Amino acid sequence: MTDLNQLQNGSDIRGVAITAEGYTANLEQQQVERIAKGIITWLKQEKGVTHTPITIAIGQDSRLSGESIKQWLIDAFMTEDIHVIDVGLSTTPAMFMATQFPEFNADCGIMITASHLPFYYNGIKLFTKDGGAEHEDIEFILEHAPETFEKTNVVGHVEEKEVLSAYSKDLVDKIIAQTQSDKPLEGFKIVLDAGNGAGGFFAEKVLETLGADITGSQFLDPDGHFPNHIPNPDNKEAMASIKEAVLANHADLGVIFDTDVDRAAVVDKSGEVINRNNLIAVLATIVLNDYPGATIVTNSPTSSHLKTFIEGLNGKQVRYLCGYRNVINKGIELNSQGIDVPLSIETSGHAAFKENYFLDDGAYVVAKILMLLPKLKQQNLELSDLIADLKQPAETTEVRFKISGADYKLLGESIIVAMHDLVAETPGFIIDMDNEEGIRTTVSDNFGQGWFLLRMSLHEPLLVLQVENDVDGKNKAVLETLLSFFSRYDFLNTDQLNKELEG
């Protein structure tokens, strides 16, 4: 029997739902039905849901296994006094909003997705009216998922009610209110790339409704084979695809979503990609205009230039741990301490606004940009003009080291500790104390001008090294010095680093 604990992925549940490419399925009917029972126990015992029936809304993205997993959940819920709302194709943020919209009023929203992972994966994200499930919530659910349970007479009830129209209308109403125009995007050509995920609705229900010409939009139809490119705004192939579509169609803006639309990126009319540090800078500009002097929470691997840019706008940046829940929770924590944090955002594109329930919502990120477009047009400005003062590095490199051994976390942390000694004895290396994850080091002199960060991967047996430099060709000098250090450890795979140096 599958150990359900291996399905925990931080604050989500993820597993292999289709046996493929050498991976054996471990998220099948038996596991899903057990998880459903654990969810019910969690809602009653941990979330304080005492009324009956409990209302649970369930949706899925375009993954091939989504319908099966949804049906297994429903089958298990039907043996309890549960009212299931089957919303069909949906997005992660829309499933949270199903707990907020009065016409749904769900006690729990369940999104069946594995974000940008390969087609054979799938998973479960959970929401209550208070927000997304935390790591400890998933632990509770899996620990309280019974190995066996008796089938009872069906007492539950299922209704079908589509949620994306309500979600779209909510976005449209907010954009209209902010721009004070029923058709604020009239005269704009905007292309959308949904990557065959769940985000295709945005073209017609939001962009076109607001007056935009969506000619050239691509991969809008849901297809769990993902035949065109990985639906991931952090993927080079995906970003090259939307950039090409923008230029080919002479569009004013390109928008790209991940599979479940909790992340987004954009491309301006010149083809400049606005994701990672650039997207953080654009959104920081927007929120610091509305909330002068506020603090932006990011994850740790952001550019040093981003901090300079935010401070130049009279804002503050707090670099925190990787993991979207970590970044969001840090923003919530600081707000509770009286520190104004309107935005928490990861370089991966997960972005959560205080004004939007601190929900990581890619469509809302784009909505904030759409609200700005008419004003920029009046001023004869482009999105990229907002970040003209953000210095771009000459080189960026990321290397992942696989760690062998069951105690990979301890082994990885021991290397990070040992790295402090290397930095101390290497002229041109200085530890950056403005860091809460792994070890961040500024580099200078013979190593150019930049920084590197060594940290543990959030969920995998990997050490992640990120190196950035303002001097072309100097990342190699940094990597050569680090290679001799990493080569001391026989449990560390340095193949990728060797390839970087050979290339």
Q: Which pLDDT tens digit goes with each residue over 440-463? A: 999 999 999 999 999 999 878 999
- Dump pLDDT digits (tens) for 376-421: 999 999 999 999 999 999 999 999 999 998 899 999 999 999 999 9
CATH 3.30.465.10 fits 395-502, yes or no: no
How many whole angstroms separate alpha carbon 372 and alpha carbon 367? 9
Asked if 388 and 312 count as a contact pair (C-beta separation under 8 A), the reply is: no
Q: What are phi and psi of 105, to 5 degrees?
A: 50, 45
- Asked if residue 131 lies in contact with residue 58, where contact means CB atoms within 8 angstroms, the answer is no
- Distance from C-alpha of 414 to C-alpha of 410, rounded to nearest angstrom: 6
Q: What is the mean pLDDT of residues 282-300?
A: 97
Q: Which 8-state DSSP code applies to residue 87?
A: E
Token couple for 413: 């942390």
Domain 167-387, CATH: 3.40.120.10
Please determine, for residue 82, whether its predicted confidence score (pLDDT) is greater than 60. Answer: yes
pLDDT for 169-212, tens place per residue?
Answer: 999 999 999 999 999 999 999 999 999 999 999 999 999 999 99
Strands of 151-278, DSSP E: 157-160, 190-193, 253-257, 264-268, 273-274
- What is the per-residue pLDDT for 123? 98
pLDDT at residue 281 greater than cutoff 60: yes
Distance between CA atoms of residues 70 and 65, nearest Å: 9
Q: What is the band of 2 on the pLDDT scale with cuts at 50, 70, 90? A: low
pLDDT score recorded for residue 206: 98
CB of 317 closer than 8 Å to CB of 301: no
3 state DSSP class of 69:
helix
Residue 406 three-state SS? coil
With pLDDT > 90 as the criterion, what percentage of the chain qualifies?
96
Q: Say if residue 53 is preceded by a cis peptide, omega within 30 of 0.
A: yes
Q: Which CATH code of 2.60.40.10, 3.40.50.1100, 3.40.50.300, 3.40.120.10 fits the domain covering 3-161? A: 3.40.120.10
The SS3 of residue 419 is helix
Q: For all residues of the chain together, what is the average pLDDT?
A: 96
How far apart, in Å, are the Cα atoms of 98 and each of 162, 263, 425?
10, 19, 55
Q: Which residues, in sequence order, are CB contacts of 239 under 8 Å at separation 6+?
A: 233, 256, 265, 267, 273, 275
Q: What pTM was computed for the model?
A: 0.95
Q: Is the pLDDT of residue 19 over 80?
A: yes
Q: Do the domains 3-161 and 167-387 sit in the same CATH topology, yes or no?
A: yes
- Take residue 129 and report the two structure tokens written for it: 């009216």
pLDDT tens digit string along 92-142? Answer: 999 999 999 999 999 999 999 999 899 999 999 999 999 999 999 999 999
Q: What is the DSSP letter of 208?
A: I
Torsion-angle region of 443 (φ positive above 0: left; ψ -120 to 50: alpha; else: beta): beta
Residue 348 CA, chain-centre distance (Å), reads 6
Instruction: Indicate if the pLDDT at residue 1 is higher than 60.
Output: no
* Structure confidence at residue 405 (pLDDT): 87
Q: Are 56 and 110 in contact (CB under 8 A)?
A: yes
Domain ranges of the chain: 3-161, 167-387, 395-502
Instruction: Tell me the helices (H) and strands (E) count for the chain, helix number first.
Output: 15, 22
Give the Cα-Cα-Cα angle 270, 172, 83 (nearest 5 degrees): 125
Predicted confidence (pLDDT) at residue 151 exceeds the cutoff of 90: no
- Residue pair 226/114 in contact (Cβ under 8 Å)? The answer is no
Helix (H) / strand (E) element for 366: namely helix 362-378
Distance CA 449, CA 466 (A): 14
Helices 362-378, 164-179: axis angle to 10 degrees equals 30
Count of all residues that appear for the chain in the document: 503
Residue 150 has pLDDT above 90, yes or no: no
Please check the confidence at residue 153 and state whether its pLDDT lies above 80: no
**What is the tens place of the pLDDT at every residue in 41-68?**
999 999 999 999 999 999 999 999 999 9
